[in-house]
Chain A
Amino acid sequence: AQSVSQHNHHVILSEAASLELGCNYSYGGTVNLFWYVQYPGQHLQLLLKYFSGDPLVKGIKGFEAEFIKSKFSFNLRKPSVQWSDTAEYFCAVKSGFQKLVFGTGTRLLVSP
């Protein structure tokens, strides 16, 4: 069965610090990978997704993620975070079926 691990449950950063959130998945076949964000009081929104091609994908709001197949990883990065990036971030994988399999999420708090 597919699974997704997000090792950082809570991250606290100051504004302008760089961000990297880890995501590892377990599945041997072709996967499609997603990062969703949930801002306080809002619904899950897609940040970015990877399904083929360039393993470095760029998303909204300056986020990017790198797919490293050999490491089964899809880490999310942002070079300089802002207070408005305070949110919960979810990594998810889909492998040809319809369901998304989510990680446990990482709560990011950015202090001004």
Chain B
Amino acid sequence: EPEVTQTPSHQVTQMGQEVILRCVPISNHLYFYWYRQILGQKVEFLVSFYNNEISEKSEIFDDQFSVERPDGSNFTLKIRSTKLEDSAMYFCASSEEALSTDTQYFGPGTRLTVL
């Protein structure tokens, strides 16, 4: 069964450094998402992406964050200058469509630790 994959599984970085989290969505899916979960808190929506554009973003997704689909398979989340509070598990997801009934399929997550 096709799966969403994410690399790396764990990333440790110093405050102020740039990080890029990578995701490979399911191949026939057209909509891509990033969520994050700070330890002990809810899974929170960050951004959705379709047709090479952001289609929706949350208030968390400020100018420090950006997303890109650099080629036909990867979907990346970049944090330009990491802060301590960016430490979280970051989940990528994808769906075939963006209907409200559509299932989003999640990757295993990248644990980001900012020191």
- A44 near B106: Cβ-Cβ < 8 Å: yes
- B100 near A51: Cβ-Cβ < 8 Å: yes
Residue A102 lies at the interface, judged by CB distance under 8 Å to chain B: yes
Q: Give the number of residue pairs across the A-B interface with Cβ within 8 Å.
A: 55
Chain B, interface size category, equals 20 to 34
Residue of B nearest to A98 (CB): B48
Residue A42 lies at the interface, judged by CB distance under 8 Å to chain B: yes
Which of B38-46, B62-70, B78-86 sits within the interface? Answer: B38-46
- B4 near A43: Cβ-Cβ < 8 Å: yes
Determine how close the nearest CB of chain B comes to the CB of A2; give it in whole angstroms: 11
Residue B113 lies at the interface, judged by CB distance under 8 Å to chain A: no
- A102 near B43: Cβ-Cβ < 8 Å: yes
Contacts of B109 in A (CB 8 A): 43
Determine how close the nearest CB of chain B comes to the CB of A86; give it in whole angstroms: 18
- B108 near A51: Cβ-Cβ < 8 Å: no
Which chain B residues have a beta carbon within 8 Å of chain A's beta carbons?
3-4, 31, 33, 35, 41-45, 48, 55-56, 58, 91, 98, 100-101, 103-109
